[in-house]
Amino acid sequence: MEYYQYYLMGIVLLPAILFAVIAQARVNSTFDKYSKVASSKNIPAYMVAEKMLEKKGIRDVVVKRVSGKLTDYYSDSEKVVALSEDIYSSSSISAIGVAMHEVGHAIQYAEGYKMIMVRNLMIRTSRISSILLWPLVVIGLIFNLAVVGGGLFGQICLWGGIGFFGISILLNLVTLPVEYNASNRAKELMEKEGILTKQETQSAAKVLNAAALTYVASLVVSIFYLVRFLLVVFLNSRRRD
């Protein structure tokens, strides 16, 4: 492969990487802005989460504190809404919004939301494909470039690896409606149940929308990586010809 082609491989990823950096910066700035604004009811996020879980009849899920910043998550296998140190005891608009987003995931499971079930299946499939992806791509490139008579086997390995990479793109694609749905549930509950005022809910929505953009960025990055893989295949195919 010529030197300019190596540069091309890097340039292809630049827009996606730039988008991901901007998305993450927006999350941090928006979260930090509203983490300094206390909600009018001044109730800690963990208490809000516990109250909403009880309100929705979800009594087998506990709320716990975890270390780190923005390391919040919901685990249905553990039946845990995990809130990070900067969220757990805070009554800020950012903290309430993030806590309610995780409660939204708990509600998805409780109500049997179909897309989260699809995502769980994709996660299990993606774990297997991630193990096979790089070995297949590397073997495919080696056979296509260096092994006499290894063209067919190399092509099978290479395209198999690319196919497995496509599974990660599907996972990112399926994740989008799951995350947006959890955020929409959070926004509805915050206003409907009087957790936040209408204006405060709009501010919390900005935090959740910024966080959702990072999932869009992940999808975009994975798509651009696929384009990069396809360019590698195309350029090496031309070299063999």
Tens digit of pLDDT per residue, the chain (241 long)? 454 555 566 677 788 889 999 999 999 999 999 999 999 999 999 999 999 999 999 999 999 999 998 899 999 999 999 999 999 999 999 999 999 999 999 999 999 999 999 998 888 777 776 676 666 666 666 665 554 444 666 666 667 777 777 888 888 899 999 999 999 999 999 999 999 999 999 999 999 999 999 999 999 988 888 887 777 666 665 555 5
Closest CA to 178 of 98, 120, 96, 126: 120
| Catalytic residue list | 102
Closest CA to 76 of 42, 44, 117, 47: 117
Element housing 62 (H / E): strand 62-66
Q: In what order do the strands lie in the sheet with 62-66?
A: 62-66, 80-84, 73-75
- The structural domains of the chain, with segments of one domain joined by +, span 3-240
Query: What gap in Å lies between CA 22 and CA 24, rounded to an integer?
Result: 6
Are the C-beta atoms of residues 44 and 89 closer than 8 Å to each other? yes
CA geometry: angle 162, 170, 113, nearest 5 deg: 160
Element housing 170 (H / E): helix 151-192
Exposure string over 91-124, b if 16+ CB within 10 A, otherwise e: bbbbbbbbbbbbbbbbbbbeeebebbebbeebee
Residue 233: the pLDDT is 67
DSSP 136: H
